[in-house]
Amino acid sequence: MESIEYKVCNTCHQNKPVDRFTPQTKNGVFAYYKGKCKDCYVDYRRKRKAIGCSDGVRKTKVEKYWKHIYWL
């Protein structure tokens, strides 16, 4: 397997070192690097938080369990 040193970000389209990308693992083994660089991902999360989006906020186990019972 060849190692890559640079990757192009899908958002800002700049060629950046691989350490500026988040590695994705599957079953604890490296699979690939994510498409957005860390800088673009931080900007994305700040914008989402500013508009009040609750994306990424996990619900408690109780809320998940009772979600399918619509009359409660």
The domain that holds 25 is classified in CATH as 3.30.60
Residue 69 lies in a domain: no
C-beta of residue 12 within 8 angstroms of C-beta of residue 40: yes
SS3 of residue 47 by DSSP = helix
Instruction: Report the number of distinct structural domains present in the chain.
Output: 1
Whether 60 is covered by a domain: the verdict is: no
pLDDT at 40: 93
* pLDDT tens-digit map of 3-61: 789 999 999 999 999 999 999 999 999 999 999 999 999 998 888 888 776 665 555 55
In a domain, 59, yes or no: no
Domain containing residue 22: 6-53
Q: Quick check: is 34 in a domain?
A: yes
Q: What is the dihedral angle through the alpha carbons of 57, 13, 27, 58, rounded to the nearest 10 degrees? A: 0
